Amino acid sequence: MVAEPPGWARRAMGVLLGCGTSLLWLLYFAGPGALLGPFFLWPRTRGRALALLGAGARRLTGPERMRRTVLLGDRFPPPYAREPDDRRALRYLAARTYTGLLSTVVIGLLAVGAVLALVLAAGVARSTTGWRELAPQVLLGAVLLFLDLQGLASLGALDARLAREYFGPSEKELLEARIDELAASRAAVLRAVDAERRRIERDLHDGVQQRLVALAMLLGRVRRNRAPEQAGALLEQAHRESTDVLTELRDVAWRVYPTALDSLGLQEALGGVAQRCALPLRMDFALPPELPRPVETAAYFVVSEAVTNAAKHSGAGRVRVSLTGGTSLLTVRIEDDGRGGADPAGSGLTGLHSRVAALDGRLSIDSPPGGPTTIIAELPCV
């Protein structure tokens, strides 16, 4: 893959250097390749000769990678940055020699055309060339210049494709990596859904259900109690218990899915998170007019779970949340001034990873011991 495109001067230097190296590779095939040629005819020595020629070719691919990296701006992904094996190196070097020699010929023709253009211009300046002779030569020169530049661009694209194939991931490797990524993401989503179900069941069983049992017991005591004063006190206690049950049930429903996200939007739904947060929470928004609903849902749960974790485990005194983005990417940043040391493999942060990975997003966690903790989620919007 390519980072910032280099300038035309660097690219021109890279192309010219590629022409020079192709001549060296030609000498390699004409020299050591010709000396080892007879050994390819005998089956017993063919493998050894191929290994020797391939080992030399593999060493020669190092300067080619450096040329494309330094002068042409190529960046090969670290998981796939590898030296090709001997046979791959031989195939690449042969193809690279072919494209480099063709580029040399095309550049040579371009130089000859430039010299002829100067000669023609000098003839016009000395009035030795008339307009009738000049017009067809200019037309022919323009056509040849176009074909020459088009051929040079095509050879450059072929050279880049060869480098991507031999130094970077092939299409098959990319497809296999994507399949593995999707399989891992699917398994993570299933684990997250299962963990979410267990959490909801635990909240209902340990929280709401226990409070409802206590409420039923209070109402039973009211029925059995004949003293009006004690019955009134028990009813007041039952009323407070029912209010607490409703509050906890509302919190459980919000953790399952906030209805405000559908009716009011992401900003208002996160306002509810700020109201329920036990810490001072500052939120900054720079959002586009509309976001895809899955992105809004993922952003809400990332903020909600990260803020909840900060309030429970970090010992933080404040939390700051910022959401910025455009039409292609939404960035969610959560910072707290707690003690740090968050474990990315913990259940809470693993759930965040799963939510973000389900949308092909990225989640980074920076939580050194002593703090602060910064969580950044990047969610694609397309």
pLDDT on residue 79: 46
Say if residues 357 and 368 touch (Cβ distance below 8 Å): no
Q: Are residues 246 and 283 in the same domain?
A: no
| Among candidate residues 132, 167, 202, the one where a domain is terminated | 167
Inside any domain, residue 206: yes
Taking Cα atoms as reference points, which of 118, 122, 117 lies closest to residue 141?
Answer: 117
Phi/psi at 226 (5° precision):
-95, -15
pLDDT tens per residue, the chain (382 residues)?
334 567 778 888 888 888 888 888 888 888 888 888 788 787 888 788 878 888 888 888 878 888 888 888 777 665 444 445 777 888 888 888 888 889 889 888 888 888 888 887 777 777 766 667 777 778 888 888 888 888 888 888 888 888 877 777 666 777 777 788 777 767 766 666 666 677 677 767 777 777 777 778 877 877 777 677 777 777 777 777 787 777 777 666 656 666 667 777 788 888 877 777 778 888 888 887 788 888 888 888 888 888 888 887 777 788 889 988 877 888 999 988 888 877 776 666 777 777 788 788 888 888 888 878 889 988 888 7
Is 195 in the same domain as 247?
yes
For residues 32 and 145, state if they share a domain: yes
Residues 221 and 281 placed together within one structural domain of the fold: no
Domain-located, residue 211: yes
Q: Identify whether the C-beta of residue 74 lies closer than 8 Å to the C-beta of residue 6.
A: no
- Is the domain of 301 the same as that of 237? no
- As a whole number of angstroms, the distance between CA 85 and CA 269 comes to 55
Residue where one domain finishes, among candidates 167, 190, 214: 167
Residues 364 and 293 in one domain: yes
pTM given for the model: 0.50
d(CA 291, CA 266): 9
Q: Do residues 37 and 158 share a domain?
A: yes
* pLDDT for residue 141: 81
Q: Which residues contact 20 (CB under 8 A, 6 or more apart)?
A: none
| 273 within domain boundaries | yes
Task: Based on the fold, state whether residues 60 and 83 are members of the same structural domain.
Answer: yes
Q: Please tell me the predicted confidence (pLDDT) of residue 2.
A: 38
Query: For residues 315 and 284, is the Cβ–Cβ distance under 8 A?
Result: no
The answer on 226 and 86 residing in a single domain is no
In this structure, the answer to whether residues 242 and 270 fall within a common structural domain is no
In the listed set 201, 222, 256, which residue is the last one of a domain according to the structure? 256
In the chain, the number of structural domains is 3
pLDDT per residue as tens digits for the range 1-44? 334 567 778 888 888 888 888 888 888 888 888 888 788 787 88
Same domain, 97 and 208: no
Supply angle C-alpha 115, 118, 123, rounded to 5: 130
Residue 224 maps to a domain: yes
* Residue 372: inside a domain: yes
Please tell me whether residues 179 and 151 are part of one structural domain: no
Query: What is the pLDDT at residue 156?
Result: 85
Whether 3 is in a domain gets the answer no
Residue 40 lies in a domain: yes
Q: How far is CA 133 from CA 130, 144, 184, in A?
A: 5, 17, 70
Does residue 229 belong to any structural domain of this protein?
Answer: yes
The pLDDT of residue 78 is 54
Task: Supply the range of the domain harboring residue 270.
Answer: 265-380
pLDDT score at 257: 65
